[in-house]
Amino acid sequence: MTILPALIILSPFAASPVSLLIGRKSEKARDAFFCAFLAAECVLAALAFAFAAQGRELAFTWAGFAGFGLSFRLDGFRALYTLIAAFMWLMTGIFSPRYFRRHHHRNRYAFFTLLTLGATVGVFLSDDLLGAFIFFEIMSFTSYTWVAQEETKEALRAAETYLAIALCGGMVTLMGLFLLYHRLGSLSFAALRAAGGAVPPQELYLPGALTAVGFAAKAGMFPLHVWLPKAHPVAPAPASALLSGVLTKVGVFGLAVIGCNLFRADAAWGRAVLLPGTVTMFLGALLAVFSVDLKRTLACSSMSQIGFILIGLGTRSLLGAHGALAVQGTVLHMVNHSLLKLCLFLSAGTVYMNLHRLSLNDIRGFGRNKPLLHFAFLSGAVGLAGFPLGNGYISKSLLHEGLLEYIALLREAGEAAGLYSAVEWIFIISGGMTFAYMLKLYIAIFWQKHPTRQREMDDLRKGYLSPMSALALSAAAVMPPLLGLFPDFFCTGIATMAQGFFGGVSPAHPVHYFSAENLSGAAKSLLIGAGIYLLFIRPCLTEKRDGARAYVDRWPRWLDLEQLVYRAAWLRRGLCAPVLFLCQFLSGLADSRPVKVRIPQAFAALSRLLSGLPDARPVRVWIPRCFGALARAADEAADHAALLLSLPLSGHGKSGPPPVGTRLTFRIGRALNAAARVLNRSGLRAKPLPEDYEFRLAVDRREARRAIGRIARSLSFGLLLLGLGLVVTCIYLLLQ
């Protein structure tokens, strides 16, 4: 028995290549194998569910896988969602052959659908965040092929967005897992639960929030929802049903694992989930109201319903131990939404495979006189809109009650609850909008008439479904009313079974789903919805054209978060382009001209300089000169020393008053001057003689006198030294 979880997860991985090989030989055989396998998988899942419904658990560990080991656990919630996934895969599988009749690449679709199934149940059955992440990433990539399947321009673009967000989200989650693992040393759910009470939440906020990002993106939480309204409509309808019904729930599953283990009673975390959840809920509903495309409306509706579920999750963390109702509401709304979207997307698929159109104006009146389609769509619409006796009513009431409970709790504690009252009102209004857009679809498809093609559509009455696809559609259509009509059996049972996973407990008293309070909440919603339809949608979003009511897309084209932010030109030009340019610059650094040319040039110049150094003028001329000067200095050193020694005795040197001659020198000078003048004037000399002999003689005379004086002084200095020497000698002799 313990092998059961492993079998459920691994058999789709094993079956996918088989289906690929069979499909190469025969498409029919492949379809048969595909459906048979899904039926077997569904039986296995039902077995697991029956097992878990008895309150028993199955744990299975695959030690050593990917180095960490995988651990799976089959308990209430996981068994439930495994069954839902298997059921939805089976229904869409049965529906597909007819749907894909004229499509290409059916083999590819079957291959990746099986892989995605394995990965999806792998996430749901994981008991370890790392294992869940492994399957989550596989799922992200394999489900990419669903979105891109049609290979139209829009499909490829939407698929690109889907992949980019899934990939970036996945990487952010991985960062969170790095941090969590580093902090806790284990990522098993049990370890997370233990850490939730023991580790201070401040240390867990960042890792927890990062881990949540990837899952939030998959769930379609604002502001990471941008892929959802684009990807779901372009995928083939069976795949849309799975994307909307199950894959978004995988995201919710991840958020629940974090919220219900790490942040069981953390108000900050609860708010951080609740507020974006509210925005998602309202925005999705708003987009759906404006949408004029059947599948886009359903996709936006998915987004909005995920918002409801996120509110449940948020309230659960806000309420902590009192969160029983919020938990039940969350679980039930997940289940209900999955089943409802199966029903609705298969209906949309029925429309598309007959008309190959999805715009409301093109499909007006298709549903007339087609009771099975009518029933299926109505079953989905009633449930989603929250009519009493529909299954959506039950879960929305519980979610609403959870919110009210928290508001009451806050009031009791004397704190302001204005924010949450606003959330409650948005909740009710969004519920109303749900009714309004479903009414819009319903009236368009089943009541209006197509102005030109109505006869053509009526002719499709027979044979618009193959027997197999009719079977799938009706099986899908039966589920929601069953849950809605017998809530005490189904809903309470499901909620009780699944709440353990969310850390919930059964409420003290059984829930009265049809209490006056709940009914009045639903009535408020429905009234608001009817009002929106009558007062807004009909007058503002439709116009008379060709005598019939046509739908107009009034949503401003530029108002698109993806275009405004994620793919915006300012982001590309302002952030990406400079970064890429910087990288180019860095990458070319070592090969850039300055480095490649200047550095060798500098080296060459240096070498040239060094090699020419011995011949350089400074070396050749100045060094010899330097040496010459040195030699000269050494040569004259003795003279200079003597001069230096005599300096103290030689007075002021050359300076002094101008020389004064004697009478004799004056006369001789005058005579010489006269002679020189005669010679100069006679022109006999090329170079004129000086005519200042009076002065010159005076100078010479002074020099001569000075020299005589110096000699006399030197002599006396010498005698002085001699005397001193004699004295020293005498002293020496005396002492001797």
Partner 1 sequence: MMGSDLLLLLPLLLPAAGGLCVSLIRLPDSARKNLVTAVLALEAGVAALLLFRPDASLFLFSFSAEIPVFLSADSVSRLYLAFISLVFLLVGISSFEYIAHEGNGSRFYPFYLLTLFALAGLSLSGSIVTFYMFYEAMTLLSLPLVTHSQTKEAVAAGIKYLLYSVVGASLALCGIFFLSRYAQSLSFAPGGVLDAAKTAGNEGVLLPVLFVMIIGFSVKAGMFPLHGWLPTAHPVAPAPASAVLSGVITKAGVLGIIRVIYYLAGAEILRGTWVQTALIILSLITVFMGSAMAFQEPVLKKRLAYSTVSQVSYVLFGLFTLSAAGLSGALLHILFHSVIKNTLFMAAGAIILKTGLTRVPELGGIGRRMPLTMACFTLVSLGLIGIPPTGGFLSKWYLAQGALAMDSAWNWVGPSVLLLSAVLTAGYLLSIVIRGFFPGEEAAREALPPSEPGWAMRIPMLILAALCLLGGMFPGAILEATQSIAAAVVH
Q: State the residues that interact with partner 1 by CB under 8 A.
A: 64-67, 104, 133-134, 137-138, 141, 148, 150-153, 156, 159-160, 163, 167-168, 170-172, 174-175, 178-179, 181-182, 579-580, 583-584, 586-591
Q: State which amino acid sits at residue 197.
A: G
Q: How far is the CB of 223 from partner 1 (least distance, A)?
A: 18
Taking the least distance from each CB to partner 1, the nearer of 574 and 612 is: 574
Token duo for residue 648: 């103290």
Choice between 156 and 482, CB closer to partner 1: 156
SS3 assignment, position 544? strand
For partner 1, give the closer residue by CB, 210 or 272. 210
Cis previous bond, 223, omega within 30: yes
Closest CB to partner 1 among 556 and 594?
A: 594
Q: Give the H/E segment covering residue 174.
A: helix 153-184
Tokens encoding 130: 């790392």
- Indicate the residue among 520 and 592 with the shorter CB distance to partner 1: 592
Q: Give the residue carrying structure tokens 């004699």.
A: 726
**DSSP secondary structure, 290-327, as one string:** H--BHHHHHHHHHHHHHHHHHHHHHHHHHHGGGTHHHH
For residue 630, the minimal CB distance to partner 1 (Å) is: 41
Q: Please say which residue, 173 or 328, places its beta carbon nearer to partner 1.
A: 173
Nearest distance, CB of residue 137 and partner 1, angstroms? 5
Q: How far is the CB of 1 from partner 1 (least distance, A)?
A: 25
**Distance between CA atoms of 97 and 237, rounded to whole angstroms?**
12
Which is nearer to partner 1, 178 or 425 (by Cβ)?
A: 178
First to last CA, the chain: 129
Smaller CB separation from partner 1, 520 or 587: 587
Shortest distance, position 217 Cβ to partner 1, whole Å:
13
Q: Annotate 224-236 with b (16+ C-beta within 10 A) or e (fewer).
A: bbbbbbbbbbbbb
Determine the Cα–Cα distance for residues 658 and 651; give it in Å rounded to an integer.
Answer: 16
Instruction: Using the minimum distance from each CB to partner 1, give the nearer residue, 422 or 580.
Output: 580
Minimum CB separation of residue 127 from partner 1 in Å reads 16
Amino acid identity of residue 146, one-letter, is: W
The Cα 81–Cα 123 span in angstroms is 10
CA atoms in the 13 A half-sphere facing the CB of 535: 8
Q: Closest distance between partner 1 and the C-beta of residue 140, in Å?
A: 9
State the minimum distance, in angstroms, from the CB of residue 20 to partner 1.
Answer: 11
CB 691 within 8 A of CB 676: yes
Tokens of 479: 């589920």
DSSP strands (E only) in 318-377: none
As a whole number of angstroms, the distance between CA 461 and CA 454 comes to 11
Phi, psi of 59, deg, nearest 5: -120, 140
CA 620, distance to chain mean position in Å, is 70
Beta bridge partners of 70: 62
Nearer to partner 1, 599 or 721 (CB): 599
Strand partners, 59: 73
Q: Give the shortest CB-294-to-partner 1 separation in angstroms.
A: 22
The smaller minimum CB distance to partner 1, of residues 134 and 273, is found at: 134
| CA dihedral of 258, 262, 265, 267, whole degrees rounded to 10 | -70
**Structure tokens that stand for 108 in this block:** 């590819």
Shortest approach of partner 1 to residue 71 CB, angstroms? Answer: 15
| Minimal distance, residue 66 CB to partner 1, in Å | 5
Which amino acid type is present at position 33? F
